[in-house]
Amino acid sequence: MGRSPLLLGAALLLAGPALAQNQPGLPASAQAIGLASDSLTLGGTVQAVLDANPGLTNLTELANAASGRLAQSQAGFLPQITGTATYTRLDPVSKVAFGNDVLSFVPNNNFDAHLTAQYELLDFGKRSAATNLSRSQVQTAQDNVVVARRDLAFNAAQVYYNILFARESIQVQDAQIASLVAHRNEMQKRVEAGVSTKFDVTTTDVRITQAQNTKLDLQNQLRNQQVQLARLLHKPQQADVPVKGRLGYEPQPVDLEAELAKAAQNRPEVKLSKDAEATAELQSKLIEHSNMPSLGVGAQVGGKNGYILPNVAITDIRFNTVGVAQLSVPIYDGGKNRKQRVEAVANYRSAVARTQDTQEQIRSDVRQAVNNMEFSKARYDNALQQVAQATDALTRAQGRYRYGVGQNLDVLDAETQLAQSRLARAQAMYNYTLGQYQLRRATGEQIWQ
């Protein structure tokens, strides 16, 4: 049983995030969502982790901020209206004597209140380019949330199955220890009857101690996985988070070509790459339009005093209007726009290359997941034969020893082989289950929203 910690360690270190899909073909344990009494099911574990993670809140708020920027850019298509009221006191003011009267050219108290409306009538596509760029950035932010939720959900599912696998391994170890203890008790009776030697009892005690040490290693790895789950749940003070379930094995047929097509269509990394391409292209268009002329119009209505008109006192407030049209034409910017276009084109080519690399990586992910499932299935079938063969070998070794025609070492070796074959079966079940989740991740499928 000395190799069991290595087998468990390899299983717990399986890399590559994945996400399960709540649909036919997945393990029954993956279909259960929510809390069961005081223990977390798989679905409850994933949902609790998603609810507790502040990183998702951060990405969600970044997406909300991007939506706010989009709304701001869309406001540029509407007129801008402002109201202004001012009071100015002037001392002294220019005056002139005219007969018995003194005329002022400017009043001491000046009042001016008006409304101003401005609208950019023509900008040759600059506002549309800015709005499209903001819309692309919103899509990127939303896709980032999808990717983060998927990866976090699989991390939770992986830790959940790590815990189930560790428990299964401990049960295998407990069965071996119990069998060895029963065998030792039988040998002790034979020693007391004078038909066996103390050496056989001591040898068995050594194997029991070795099996107990292996169990301690497994218990330590189980505790570490529980700590990891507590961290995902952001409950560092609670190391032992109860989970419910048993490790199962439910094989499913896999069509590689169909899975590859599904991944090419649904994988969020492809969407992110396409988002980057679109953003780079829209950024290039915005730069192209930023050097174009713009035509704006404006109007102002209000009332003010200070007019020198017949039959009107200079202090009287009069209604007034103002209209304006303005054409702005960029002439020279030191070559800045041209250099920005060069940068934008390079960014676009980079985004296209990144998309191609992402597509190749996705195809590789799907093939690896399918390979893992196929070989785990073969290992499971082989482990079933090993368990049957090891069980038969142990029964025969115990019978031979009981009738004095076999050796104690044969029984101990058979016990070890049976325990190792049971652990190999559990690991094949674990690997196949994780392979199912890796395939779901590789094809871009999700369940917990």
pLDDT 10s digits, 269-295: 888 888 888 888 888 888 888 888 888
The span from the first CA to the last CA of the chain, in angstroms, equals: 42
As a whole number, the mean pLDDT across the chain is 83
User: Which residues 6+ apart lie within 8 Å of 336 measured at CB?
Assistant: none
Q: How many residues does the chain have?
A: 449
pLDDT of residue 9: 44
Helix, strand, or coil here: 88?
strand
Is this model's pTM higher than 0.85 or not? no
Q: Which of 30-39, 48-57, 139-148, 236-245 has the lowest mean pLDDT?
A: 30-39
Class of domain 42-78+123-292+336-443: mainly alpha
pLDDT 10s digits, 13-68: 333 333 333 333 444 433 333 333 356 788 888 888 888 888 888 888 888 888 88
Question: Dihedral sign, CA of 329, 335, 341, 343?
Answer: negative
pLDDT of residue 272: 86
List phi, psi (to 5°) of 254. Answer: -130, 130
Token pair recorded at residue 374: 């196929």
Q: Which long-range contacts (CB under 8 A, 24 or more apart) does 249-256 make?
A: 249/380, 249/428, 249/429, 249/432, 249/433, 250/26, 250/27, 250/28, 251/377, 251/432, 252/25, 252/26, 252/436, 254/370, 254/373, 254/374, 254/439, 256/366, 256/367, 256/370
Q: What is the mean pLDDT of residues 221-250?
A: 82
Q: What is the mean pLDDT of residues 360-364?
A: 92
What is the β-pairing status of strands 39-40 and 80-89? Answer: unpaired
Residue 308 — pLDDT band, cuts 50, 70, 90? confident
Rounded percentage of the chain residues whose pLDDT exceeds 90: 28
What is the β-pairing status of strands 95-98 and 101-104? Answer: antiparallel
pLDDT at residue 263 tops 60 = yes
Q: Taking the domains of the chain in order of start, what are their residue ranges?
A: 42-78+123-292+336-443, 82-122+296-329
Residue 215 — pLDDT band, cuts 50, 70, 90? very high
Pseudo-torsion of CA 206, 208, 214, 218, nearest 10°? -160
List phi, psi (to 5°) of 88. Answer: -130, 130
Per DSSP, what are the bridge partners of residue 294? 328
DSSP per-residue codes, 188-218: HHHHHTTSS-HHHHHHHHHHHHHHHHHHHHH
The rounded distance, in Å, linking the Cα atoms of 170 and 204 is 20
The rounded distance, in Å, linking the Cα atoms of 180 and 207 is 8
pLDDT 10s digits, 384-441: 999 999 999 999 998 888 777 788 888 889 989 999 999 999 999 999 998 998 898 8
| 3-state secondary structure labels for all residues of 256-317 | HHHHHHHHHHHCHHHHHHHHHHHHHHHHHHHHHHCCCCEEEEEEEEEEECCCCECCECCCCC
List phi, psi (to 5°) of 445. Answer: -90, 150
